[in-house]
């Protein structure tokens, strides 16, 4: 009986990309220069993509072409010999976390078939509500925080007092924080780390049950790729934080009232997601330099099979020297 050969798991190629970026950025951990760390990660990630057999286009990258020399929106990635795909990248998610040596800085890549990834365009900010699989039918973006938390707790089999909510510590969330405290839930306040926060909300091994609040739209799309695999849910709505952003969105034809689900953000199950820890965090340990080399900790996900792999990789001194050459030359 003839059987079909299994398709190549491109997620394993992507995790090599995030490993390279994380190793490059980790040299700058706590050194107060987030821009240098981000540049090192961008350079390493871009070089690593040269070996990946995809015909990729960056949908979510480091910025428009005139602002970012590499990994800009619209840039082509890969050898050009593989499947046509949309690519979302964040070489350092949490640049300030990296600069000050704080937890949860990660390197992230997501990939989906061409045309299936939501393009944020001029949308920088989005209101988000992220929950694990068991609570995916219990949320409503138009409901109050108190009502959502009550329904989430019921779906998870917990008391509201036992819920932990990830919220970005920003002035715009003053009212939201007051509502969450009124409901009786616990709060983890984080200065940065939008993608990490969404992942913590959907992965069972973390202490976070929910993510609420307004964060980056590009980060929302990146997180949606992982949420598609593990079965959680994200509801979002574009939430411009300035008159200029709002005007640009309306001019581009975006509907500011539309509620976006995970399915709207990633319109395919054939999705890949990879992340590697830079600084240690709740769900990924950071890069550990050992003298002879380094150890990285990553997660890689594949939507078609629902596979989630945890990878601990040992990197040789020679590999580190190659990445150091990217950093400093």
- Confidence at residue 4, expressed as pLDDT on a 0 to 100 scale: 43
Pairing of strands 164-168, 210-216: parallel
8 A C-beta contact, residue 202 and residue 69: no
Residue 32 known to bind ligand: no
Residue 170 known to bind ligand: yes
Residue 46 known to bind ligand: no
Of 192, 266, 255, residue with least CA distance to 229: 266
- Confidence at residue 65, expressed as pLDDT on a 0 to 100 scale: 42
Lowest mean pLDDT among 135-149, 161-175, 191-205: 191-205
Residue 233 known to bind ligand: no
**pLDDT tens digit string along 18-31?**
999 999 999 999 99
Superfamily of domain 10-115+271-321: Fructose-1,6-Bisphosphatase, subunit A, domain 1 (3.30.540.10)
Residue 245 known to bind ligand: no
3-state secondary structure of 12: helix
For residue 68, name the pLDDT band (cuts at 50, 70, 90).
Answer: low
Of 192, 10, 252, residue with least CA distance to 113: 10
Crossing angle of the two packed helices 217-230 and 194-202, in degrees rounded to 10:
20
- Confidence at residue 132, expressed as pLDDT on a 0 to 100 scale: 96
Pairing of strands 55-60, 76-77: antiparallel
CATH no. of 125-265: 3.40.190.90
Residue 62 known to bind ligand: yes
Residue 192 known to bind ligand: yes
Residue 220 known to bind ligand: no
- Cα torsion angle, 10, 12, 17, 22, sign: positive
Residue 66 known to bind ligand: no
> pLDDT at residue 3 above 80?
no
Domain chopping of the chain, boundaries? 10-115+271-321, 125-265
- Confidence at residue 323, expressed as pLDDT on a 0 to 100 scale: 66
> pLDDT at residue 288 above 60?
yes
8 A C-beta contact, residue 202 and residue 230: yes
Partners of 86 in beta bridges:
57, 112
Q: What percent of the chain has pLDDT over 90?
A: 84
Residue 264 known to bind ligand: no
Angle at 281 between CA 284 and CA 228, to 5 degrees: 50
Q: How far apart are CA 194 and CA 16, in angstroms?
A: 22
3-state secondary structure of 162: helix
- Confidence at residue 70, expressed as pLDDT on a 0 to 100 scale: 80
Residue 216 known to bind ligand: yes
3-state secondary structure of 207: coil
List phi, psi (to 5°) of 48. -65, -35
């Amino acid at each position: 009986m003839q059987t079909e050969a299994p398709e190549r798991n491109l997620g394993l190629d992507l995790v090599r990309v995030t490993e390279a970026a994380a190793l490059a950025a980790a040299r700058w951990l706590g050194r107060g220069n987030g821009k240098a760390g981000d540049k090192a990660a961008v350079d390493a990630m871009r070089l690593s993509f040269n070996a990946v057999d995809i015909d990729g286009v960056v949908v979510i990258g480091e910025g428009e072409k005139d602002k970012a020399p590499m990994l800009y929106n619209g840039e082509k990635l890969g050898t050009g010999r593989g499947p046509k795909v949309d690519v979302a990248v964040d070489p350092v998610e949490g640049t300030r976390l990296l600069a000050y040596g704080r937890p949860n800085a990660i390197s992230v890549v997501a990939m989906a078939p061409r045309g299936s990834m939501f393009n944020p365009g001029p949308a920088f900010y989005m209101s988000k509500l992220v929950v694990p699989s068991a609570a995916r039918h219990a949320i409503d973006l138009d409901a109050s925080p108190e009502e959502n938390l009550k329904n989430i707790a019921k779906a998870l089999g917990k008391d509201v007092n036992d819920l932990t909510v990830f919220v970005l510590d920003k002035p715009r969330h003053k009212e939201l924080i007051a509502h969450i405290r009124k409901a009786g839930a616990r709060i983890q306040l984080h200065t940065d780390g939008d993608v990490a926060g969404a992942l913590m909300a959907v992965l069972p091994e973390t202490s976070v049950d929910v993510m609420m609040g307004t964060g980056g739209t590009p980060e929302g799309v990146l997180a949606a790729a992982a949420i598609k695999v593990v079965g959680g849910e994200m509801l979002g709505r574009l939430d411009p934080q300035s008159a200029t952003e709002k005007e640009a969105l309306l001019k581009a034809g975006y509907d500011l009232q539309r509620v976006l689900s995970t399915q709207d953000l990633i319109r395919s199950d054939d999705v890949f997601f990879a992340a590697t820890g830079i600084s240690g965090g709740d769900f990924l340990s950071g890069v550990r330099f050992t003298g002879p080399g380094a150890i990285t900790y990553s997660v890689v996900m594949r939507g078609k099979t629902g596979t989630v792999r945890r990878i601990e990789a040992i990197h040789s001194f020679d590999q580190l020297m190659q990445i150091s050459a990217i950093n400093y030359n």
